Structure 1
């Protein structure tokens, strides 16, 4: 089964970038954002600077896991966790911060998901809407703290793009997706998207229309 859709305006933020889009957020509020939240919001705001969407999908496998670890460590020490710290550690915290800081009431959802899984969520929404509808996908990750086993080594990042069903330029092969490890999903997409001469990705998950 292949899901056909158009992907456009892809933007990636990494830790060394100048996060210029965040200048739209007041400095006092900007300083309170976690490093991962800054990356996610910077990518989202860059993509939305010239467009509007009908739905936003926020996807991350781990979310801001460092904040969760801090809360767990407080509990182990017999301390009462900070309500503020808890409120910004939940998986939909970054989407909530985006909505509040930008006064954006666009419908959205937050998923514990890989990038392809976030695409599937956006596709499911778009299939119920007029053909002109668009969705924003924001996918972001930071390495989980080294107290956990099975670590993956990578640099924190956030990728955002707009997807629609009109004039598709790419398809997602659901059957092949089952052969892909979650840790491989982002590299599989980036190597394919960055090489316009490839007709499909290494494991056949992504195919050009």
Structure 2
């Protein structure tokens, strides 16, 4: 059984920020084919703002819910294009663990599932529309199923990551139905959705930091 406190969650966000920063050029290249080539920069901006905001917190006096709400606000204030989606994700995660000072395995999975649902609700996207939902939703569903089957947190997060990777890869065979890339129609075929690609990077960082 894993026990994660606010310091552990801060480390998770630090790891995500570092992973996104390292991946931003690839994400911009993916976005350059079907979007406006700024996805990596926008995501690095958002998670960089989160990292800075969390560094200011007194972690001993800040519970997981307050920390996640701080992450939501700072990501939104960074002005990143994905800001509303990830702000909603972190607010939903905050609500999912409300009142808990220490998060155990089931809480982490509940947090992941709440994030995916928040992204889907805010973006009003369905599976198969070539968005980050195509990575996030399968990942959350896989993590939940693994946890319910008695798997460890590491095993559940490994399963989630594999599902996200499959989902992101599958976006190459989809025609974009949302956002700027939807204007390309069939020309969006053959290209991975950058939002799905960054979702994989985030879920991998979550696995690496929490498991």
TM-score by length of structure 2 reads 0.32
Query: Could you say which structure has the higher strand fraction?
Result: 1
The structure having more radius of gyration, on CA atoms, is 1
| Bigger RCO of structures 1 and 2 (CA < 8 A, at least 6 apart) | 1
TM-score by length of structure 1 reads 0.32
